[in-house]
């Protein structure tokens, strides 16, 4: 246990945001006090007011404190998005505990590694993740037999959530939280080994609250969320909204028509979506039948939003649109106001307020405007580090000649003369063909100009002649029957000689992560496996 002195209980919520840092729990307590009858959260048709939600949050906080958990301790959640999930998330923070949201898309082996790595002392789960946990349950040294808690099911070796918090105090818990205290530990997505634990501080999350308040995610906002709670994409929009007095409508599982129905029903004003969700919504045949006039702002992040999708959204979906490029680790952050800069839609915008972007070589030499290199950045919102891995944290850092700490992105890009950033590819995904660097994004942009192509990914495949060569994997629009050879010839006629694709393969779809990123490693492994057997 942390050995933290016993917290104070009470309702001393006076603070002044102009003085700087305010702990997230204090913002939550104020929001609940100021508007107790606001239906702050709606999940799958069930709404909860602040009056009821804060009572449950307080029970969780006091239950944790009664168990001796506080600052320096961690609890994990591996569950489907729900009101109970958010209750535990906020309740842990209010007790000063660091929350560890885990991905149900990871393997049991990976999850066991994350739990062991984090040192989490409780694990909350839902029926949807029970089977994943059964593979390692009882074999995690930091978890005892009584530390597994079930939200929505019963079973041997599982404590019922309602029973665990039953009898706990409903009073606000006031803990002395410091800016550098751990807020959450988010494990990066990975396909092999144990992903890295990204530790974000309370100060970093407060910076997010300040940033998104400027975008209107405060009182009066109705924010639609349709990504998982373990994703930073979700948290950067959800947490400021509820902390600043707005409402959140949360979809545990995204579907296009369901999203549009909820947006119309709840008169949504804001949303955070990933690019593939925008594509599916705008391509939905009944999209124009829904009343979306209540929208004030649409946000997109996690992957570059394609230029044609931005133009379509600008034309057909009411409200402003902002694309954000950044890392869960922080430091790097750009913002593109789509309506304000229609001639810069191929970019991901300019450095956000308080952020700085530079482009460097492999040797760490800063490059001039227009030159392609690795993107590095710094801002007021930067992770504490990779949990327990100072070596990886140090490898992430680029020190500028003037002595400032920047984070490396692993992305290749360039800045134009106006300061707008253009992404090209992940550094590790860059194609080296015949001694030339080829960026998949350039080829993908051209392929998407073909009227028959609805989705695309370009990967590197082995070539005896060139070392590597680009292969285009495409998804065709409905009811079109263009041949692979026809599209290959079309795009190669538009590309430079060094960029030309060696082939085109039509697929039914492209594999994506839960936040919409194309899984290029999976595509490459699939290609290599298929060709190794020939």
Would you say 89 and 24 are in contact if contact means Cβ atoms under 8 Å apart? no
Q: Please write the tens of the pLDDT for every residue from 416-441.
A: 999 999 998 888 778 888 778 888 88
pTM: 0.86
pLDDT band at 478 (very low <50, low <70, confident <90, very high): confident
- Percent of the chain residues past pLDDT 90, beyond the cut: 80
Cα separation values, 20 from 210, 215, 464, Å: 10, 19, 59
Would you say 96 and 60 are in contact if contact means Cβ atoms under 8 Å apart? no
pLDDT score, position 12: 42
| Domains of the chain by start residue, with CATH | 16-39+47-213 (3.40.50.12780), 430-532 (3.30.300.30)
Q: Please write the tens of the pLDDT for every residue from 393-403.
A: 999 999 999 99
Least confident of 2-6, 225-229, 335-339, 517-521: 2-6
pLDDT band at 304 (very low <50, low <70, confident <90, very high): confident
pLDDT score, position 7: 43
pLDDT band at 467 (very low <50, low <70, confident <90, very high): confident
- The single-letter DSSP state of residue 441 is H
Instruction: Choose the most confident range, by mean pLDDT, from 81-85, 190-194, 424-428.
Output: 81-85
pLDDT score, position 437: 80
Would you say 53 and 84 are in contact if contact means Cβ atoms under 8 Å apart? no
Q: Please write the tens of the pLDDT for every residue from 263-295.
A: 999 999 999 999 989 999 999 999 999 999 999
Contacts of 198 (CB under 8 A, 6+ apart): 185, 186, 187, 188, 328, 329, 383, 386, 387
Least confident of 182-186, 305-309, 529-533: 529-533
User: What's the sign of the alpha-carbon dihedral 433, 439, 440, 443?
Assistant: negative
Q: Please write the tens of the pLDDT for every residue from 99-150.
A: 999 999 888 988 999 999 999 999 999 999 999 999 999 999 999 999 999 9
Cβ neighbours, 10 Å, residue 285: 9
* Per-residue pLDDT at 302 exceeds 70: yes
Q: Tell me whether strands 453-463 and 182-187 are parallel, antiparallel or unpaired.
A: unpaired
Q: Please write the tens of the pLDDT for every residue from 344-376.
A: 999 999 999 999 999 999 999 999 999 999 999
pLDDT score, position 10: 36
Q: Mean pLDDT, to the nearest integer, of 170-189? A: 93
The 3-state secondary structure of 81-140 reads CCHHHHHHHHHHHHCCCEEEECCCCCCHHHHHHHHHHHCCCCEEECHHHHHHHHCCCCCC
Mean of pLDDT over the chain = 92
pLDDT band at 192 (very low <50, low <70, confident <90, very high): very low
* Per-residue pLDDT at 13 exceeds 60: no
State how far the Cα of 102 lies from the Cα of 110, in Å rounded to an integer: 10
pLDDT band at 16 (very low <50, low <70, confident <90, very high): low
Q: Mean pLDDT, to the nearest integer, of 510-522? A: 84
* Per-residue pLDDT at 531 exceeds 80: no
State how far the Cα of 269 lies from the Cα of 217, in Å rounded to an integer: 9
Q: Mean pLDDT, to the nearest integer, of 180-209? A: 86
- Percent of the chain residues past pLDDT 70, beyond the cut: 95
Cite the beta strand spans of 464-528 per DSSP E.
467-476, 503-506
Structural tokens at position 327: 């890392």
């Amino acid at each position: 246990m942390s050995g933290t002195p016993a917290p104070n209980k009470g309702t001393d919520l006076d603070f002044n945001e102009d003085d700087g840092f305010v702990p997230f729990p204090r913002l939550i307590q104020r929001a609940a006090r100021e508007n107790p009858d606001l239906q702050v959260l709606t999940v799958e048709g069930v709404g909860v007011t602040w009056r009821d939600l804060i009572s449950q949050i307080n029970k969780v906080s006091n239950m944790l404190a009664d168990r001796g958990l506080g600052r320096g301790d961690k609890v994990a959640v591996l569950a489907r998005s729900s009101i109970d999930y958010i209750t535990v998330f906020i309740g842990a923070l209010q007790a000063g505990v660091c929350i560890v949201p885990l991905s149900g898309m990871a393997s049991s082996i990976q999850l066991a590694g994350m739990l062991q790595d984090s040192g989490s002392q409780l694990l909350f789960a839902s029926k949807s993740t029970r089977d994943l946990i059964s593979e390692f349950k009882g074999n995690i040294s930091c978890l005892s037999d009584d530390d597994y808690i079930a939200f929505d099911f019963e079973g041997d070796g599982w404590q019922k959530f309602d029973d665990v918090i039953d009898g706990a105090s409903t009073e606000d818990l006031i803990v002395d939280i410091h800016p550098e205290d751990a807020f959450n530990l988010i494990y990066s997505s990975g396909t092999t080994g144990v992903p890295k634990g990204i530790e974000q501080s309370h100060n970093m999350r407060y910076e997010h609250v300040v940033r998104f308040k400027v975008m209107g995610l405060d009182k009066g906002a109705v924010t639609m969320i349709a990504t998982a709670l373990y994703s930073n994409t979700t948290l950067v929009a959800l947490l400021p909204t509820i902390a600043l007095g707005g409402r959140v409508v949360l979809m545990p599982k995204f579907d296009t028509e369901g999203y549009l129905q909820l947006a119309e029903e709840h008169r949504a004003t804001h949303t955070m979506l990933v690019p593939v969700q925008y594509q599916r919504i705008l391509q939905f045949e009944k999209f124009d039948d829904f009343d979306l006039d209540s929208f004030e702002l649409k946000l997109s992040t996690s992957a570059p939003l394609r230029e044609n999708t931005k133009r379509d959204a600008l034309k057909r979906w009411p409200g402003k649109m902002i694309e954000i490029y950044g890392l869960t680790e922080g430091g790097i952050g750009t913002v593109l106001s789509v309506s304000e800069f229609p001639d810069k839609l191929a970019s991901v915008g300019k450095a956000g307020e308080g952020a700085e972007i530079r482009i460097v070589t492999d040797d760490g030499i800063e490059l001039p405007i227009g030159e392609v290199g690795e993107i590095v950045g710094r801002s007021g919102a930067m992770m504490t580090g990779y949990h327990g891995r100072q070596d990886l944290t140090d490898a992430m850092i680029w020190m500028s000649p003037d002595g400032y700490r920047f984070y490396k992105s692993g992305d290749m890009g360039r800045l134009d003369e106006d300061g707008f950033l253009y992404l090209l590819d992940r550094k590790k995904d860059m194609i080296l063909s015949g001694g030339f660097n080829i960026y998949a994004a350039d080829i993908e942009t051209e392929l998407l100009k073909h009227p028959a192509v609805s989705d695309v990914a370009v990967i590197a495949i082995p070539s005896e002649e060139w070392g590597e060569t680009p292969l285009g994997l495409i998804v065709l629009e409905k009811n079109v029957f263009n041949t692979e050879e026809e599209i290959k010839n079309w795009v190669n006629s538009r590309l430079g000689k060094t960029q030309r694709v060696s082939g085109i393969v039509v697929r039914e779809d492209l594999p994506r992560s839960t936040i919409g990123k194309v899984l290029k490693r999976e595509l490459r492994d699939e290609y290599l496996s298929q060709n190794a057997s020939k």
